[in-house]
Structures are given as structure tokens and as C-alpha cells.
């Protein structure tokens, strides 16, 4: 807003650059990955707060990027997201084996000649783009729940990667749909409702698995 640029496009460029920067710090400079992410995150938040302060007047749409607002999503956003999902599914189907090997044991992947840096870079960029595309729905403040809770829930039922990915995706779809319906009928924010729904599903699954064990 301050520079007069499209916020989603500029966020996408910065997110990809930040993700690659964190990957570079953790692999080339021997910085722990969590420390690298923390540094990049802190820098990004500081720059964001600075530009919000410098932007004259009140910009309501800025709040949607922080906390999410489904009303700001346009048909063009849905088309872009559908295209990205199709690309993501294609890449996972075609390169699932190298992705899985590089994720679980990068040293072994290097010994058999796999391009670990390329695979990790590709997954980093795809994750960054996915984060930017979901900003309007869930908001940056609640985004981590969308990336972690479905996987945590799926992990309670299986330890195999393929079923875990499919189950996590299904849990994400169910929780998002239920959260959107609940937010519509109860007139409450959709982003918070989706996250609460995911937490409830996780708590119920955790309780059921605990009793079964």
C-alpha cells in the first residue's frame, strides 16, 4: 500500500525471497533452520509494521491480511489458487519419491545423486506461495494452525507419508468447510472458526486415540 504495489504480488515476491534466504542460511551458513526462520520472520514483521505506520490513513484491507477475511476473496483469487493446487498435485505425483527421500534423509539422498538443494528449494518456494495465497482467508496470525494441526491430527492415525498427506488434506477440507458454515450462521470471523474447528477435531482424535491405546 505504501509503495502503491499490489499487496499479494509483493507479498509473494518477499515470501519466496525470505523462504530461499532461510534455506540458504540453514544450508550454506550452518545456521539452525528454526533460528533462520525466526530471523527472517522478525525482519518481515518489523518491515510490515514500519510500512503500516508510514501508510497515511487507515487501510481496512490490511486487517484482512493479519486476521483473514473471506469477503475479500475474488473469483480471480479462486482461479489462481485452483491453478496452484493443480500444479502442486502434479509435482507431488511426479516427484513424490525424491521429495520423500530428501525430506526424511537428505544425506542418503546426496549419496545416491539426488539434487537435494533443488528439491528443497522447490518445496520451499511452493510453501511460500501457498502461504501467500491463503493470507486473505486465514490471515498471517492464524496461518500456522492451518499448516500444522491437520498434519498433527493425521499423524495420530498413520505413520506412512502418503496416507498422512491424504488424511491431512481431508481434515483441512472438512475443518475449513465446517468453519465457513459455522461462521456464516453464527456471524463470526471465518478464520478463527476454521482454526477452532481444527483444534476441536485434533482434541477429539487425540482423546479417541488415547482411549484406544
Average pLDDT, the chain: 81
Report the 10 Å Cβ neighbour count for 167. 19
Q: How confident is the model at residue 91 (pLDDT cuts 50, 70, 90)?
A: very high
pLDDT at position 115 is 87
Q: How confident is the model at residue 103 (pLDDT cuts 50, 70, 90)?
A: confident
- In 3D, which of 93, 112, 94 has the Cα closest to residue 102? 112
pLDDT above 80 (res 31): no
- In 3D, which of 196, 170, 171 has the Cα closest to residue 182? 196
Report the 10 Å Cβ neighbour count for 184. 12
pLDDT above 80 (res 205): yes
- In 3D, which of 156, 8, 143, 16 has the Cα closest to residue 68? 143
Phi, psi at 19, each rounded to 5°: -65, -45
How much of the chain exceeds pLDDT 90, in percent? 13
Q: How confident is the model at residue 106 (pLDDT cuts 50, 70, 90)?
A: confident
| Per-position DSSP letters for 61-115, written without gaps between them | HHHHHHH--GGG--HHHHHHHHHHHHHHHHHHHHHHHHHHHHHH-HHHHHHTT--
Using an 8 Å Cβ cutoff, are 130 and 123 in contact? no
pLDDT at position 168 is 92
- Mean pLDDT of the 5-16 span: 73
pLDDT digits (tens, 9 = 90+) for 114-169: 888 888 888 888 888 888 888 777 777 677 788 889 989 999 998 888 899 999 99
pLDDT above 70 (res 34): no
CA distances from 206 to 4, 135, 157, 176, 184 (A): 47, 28, 10, 19, 28
d(CA 100, CA 93): 11
pLDDT at position 174 is 92
- Mean pLDDT of the 37-42 span: 74
pLDDT above 70 (res 99): yes
pLDDT at position 138 is 74
Amino acid at each position: 500500500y505504501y509503495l502503491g504495489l499490489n499487496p499479494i504480488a509483493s507479498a509473494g515476491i518477499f515470501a519466496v525471497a525470505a523462504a530461499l534466504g532461510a534455506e540458504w542460511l540453514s544450508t550454506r551458513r550452518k545456521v539452525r533452520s528454526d533460528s533462520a526462520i525466526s530471523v527472517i520472520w522478525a525482519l518481515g514483521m518489523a518491515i510490515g509494521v514500519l510500512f503500516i505506520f508510514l501508510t497515511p490513513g487507515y487501510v481496512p484491507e490490511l486487517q484482512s491480511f493479519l486476521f483473514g477475511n473471506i469477503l475479500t476473496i475474488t473469483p480471480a483469487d479462486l482461479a489462481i489458487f485452483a491453478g496452484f493446487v493443480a500444479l502442486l498435485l502434479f509435482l507431488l505425483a511426479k516427484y513424490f519419491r525424491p521429495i520423500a527421500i530428501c525430506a526424511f534423509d537428505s544425506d542418503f539422498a546426496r549419496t545416491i545423486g539426488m539434487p537435494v538443494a533443488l528439491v528443497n528449494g522447490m518445496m520451499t518456494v511452493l510453501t511460500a506461495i501457498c502461504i501467500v495465497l491463503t493470507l486473505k482467508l486465514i490471515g498471517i496470525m492464524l496461518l500456522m494452525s492451518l499448516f500444522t494441526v491437520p498434519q498433527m491430527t493425521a499423524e495420530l492415525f498413520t505413520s506412512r507419508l502418503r496416507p498422512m498427506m491424504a488424511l491431512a488434506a481431508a481434515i483441512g477440507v472438512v475443518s475449513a468447510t465446517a468453519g465457513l458454515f459455522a461462521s456464516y450462521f453464527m456471524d463470526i470471523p471465518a478464520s478463527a472458526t476454521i482454526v477452532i474447528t481444527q483444534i476441536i477435531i485434533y482434541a477429539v482424535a487425540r482423546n479417541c486415540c488415547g482411549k484406544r491405546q
